[in-house]
Structure 1
Amino acid sequence: MVLLQKSRGVPRRRAAGVTLIELIVVVGIVALLATVAVPSYRQYTMRAHRTEAKAALLRLAANQERFYLQNNRYSLDPDVLGFVGGLSEQGVYTLAIDTAAGVTQDWIAAATPTPGGGSNGTDQTADTECTSFTLTSAGVRTATPLPNGVNGRCW
């Protein structure tokens, strides 16, 4: 018969827990992942909010054609075409319309980021890849800065 000996009545176990070195390693890994993920997420959200400019310009083109059918001319006022204050739906982009090189029957519309952002808290002024978008009455789509804007990743 084997007798188990107890040290002072309570068997001792090794203390379980996390060492300081293990904690520092985990915090370092989380910090490394955050430095990679945050800029990628920011770029993703900028690309997603560009759709507001593109949708506004396409809606403006449709409204221009409707206005032309009724008035036999194009409008240079975004307010007349349904864009209150010349802003896109959430106010992230400001719209401007001009005539194409002095030709009164053609137009060029531009969408540029609104300084301070829109009503949804989005500020696209930091988007350096696709700063502004343009659409002509002929359907030509461009974005600045070039060359990425011409039928590139912007449109």
Structure 2
Amino acid sequence: MAMTLRQNGFSLIELLIVISVVAIIMAIGIPGYRQYLMRANRADATAALLRISAAQERFYLQNGRYAATQQELEAAPPAGLGTGKTERDFYVLQLQPNAGGPAVGFIASATARLGKAQSDDTECWVFMVDELGQHTAFNQAGDPNNQRCWD
């Protein structure tokens, strides 16, 4: 009578194969997912700039000029309109008067905040919008990158 042993569990080779397959899948998937997150987080900057642009237009209607500083725009209504920071705090917002002064226009910018996830987004480092609604964006080297960033 032959005795057969029944094997329970996995062999070491099978376990190593599964671990290496999972490692390969993660090595391929994580960088792609990270790029996806950076593209999705750009909406934080564009939404904040469009909100500032709308607040500036309301401020202009109330005061006959654009707000010269972000603090002036963030003051309590009716003077300011409480725009605040970007929702997820990935970007630093700046507001400055146009070359002709606050009576003529403004330039609002959102720059990737250092130390946050978006600081690795070298394609779309700075977003800008002006009183005419013109959108511009620059990569980390300072080259224009409008098409890719505002889409």
TM-score between both structures, scaled by the size of structure 2: 0.81
Could you say which structure has the higher helix fraction? 2
Distance 2:70 2:101 in 1: 18
State the match for 2:148 in structure 1.
153
Matched residue of 2:72: which SS? coil
Partner Cα distance (1:30, 1:78) in 2: 48
Superposed CA offset, 1:69-117 (max 9, x none): 0100000222333234xx2223221111122333541211100122333
Amino acid at match of 1:92: F
What pairs up with 1:68-147 in 2 under 5 angstroms? 68-81=60-73, 82-84=82-84, 87-104=85-102, 105-117=104-116, 123-145=117-139, 146-147=143-144
Contact 2:55 2:83 (8 Å CA) reproduced: no
| Aligned mates of 2:7, 2:57 — CA distance in 1 | 77
Matched residue, 1:52? 44
RMSD value, Cα: 1.9
- Indicate yes or no: 2:55 matched with 1:63: yes
Any unmatched runs of 5+ in structure 2? 74-81
TM-score by length of 1: 0.79
Q: Which amino acid aligns with 1:96?
A: Q
1:113 counterpart letter in structure 2? A
Q: Helix, strand or coil for the counterpart of 2:51? A: helix
Distance 1:114 1:68 in 2: 29
Q: Secondary structure at 1:111's aligned position in 2?
A: strand
- Partner SS state of residue 65, structure 1: helix
- Tell me the distance in 2 between the aligned counterparts of 1:37 and 1:141: 32
Higher RCO structure, 1 or 2 (CA under 8 Å, sep 6+):
2
Cα pair distance change 1:17/1:116, threshold 3 Å: closer
| Residues matched between the structures, number | 138
Larger Rg: 1
Q: In the alignment, residue 106 of structure 1 is paired with which amino acid? A: G
Give structure 1 stretches of 5+ with no counterpart: 1-5, 118-122
Q: Distance in 2 between matches of 1:28 and 1:100?
A: 57
| Secondary structure in structure 2 of the residue aligned to 1:138 | coil
Do the aligned residues in 1 keep the contact of 2:69 with 2:97 (CA within 8 Å)? no
